[in-house]
Amino acid sequence: MQVLENWHPKGVTVYMDDKRLINCVLTECKLVYGGGDVTWENTQFVNCQLTFDGAAQRTVAYLQNFNLMRPPETAVPVPGATGVN
């Protein structure tokens, strides 16, 4: 797993799989999640967009077929989301 600490990217595409984010602030980034492991500690996501790829995209489609998840617009915004995972 790649560890990124005190990282502050802005306006880039970040592939989230196999990442551990510690004390990071991601601003206006496109977050791409494919279904792999990802963790974050004391990390903020400011006006980022979440998109799904690969296995995660297939899981989203499966859930949408059963009306368990609404279809996202082209991307799901994560405005100012802050999380500890």
**What are 11-59's pLDDT values in tens digits?**
999 999 999 999 999 999 999 999 999 999 999 999 999 999 999 999 9
pTM for the model stands at 0.77
pLDDT band, residue 80 (cuts 50/70/90): low
Looking at residue 48, what is its pLDDT? 96
Q: Which domain holds residue 50?
A: 2-83
Sign of CA dihedral 63, 13, 4, 43: negative
Nearest Cα neighbor of 29 from 44, 42, 10 is: 10
| 8 Å CB contact between 11 and 30 | no
| 8 Å CB contact between 37 and 20 | no
State the total domains in the chain. 1
pLDDT band, residue 69 (cuts 50/70/90): confident
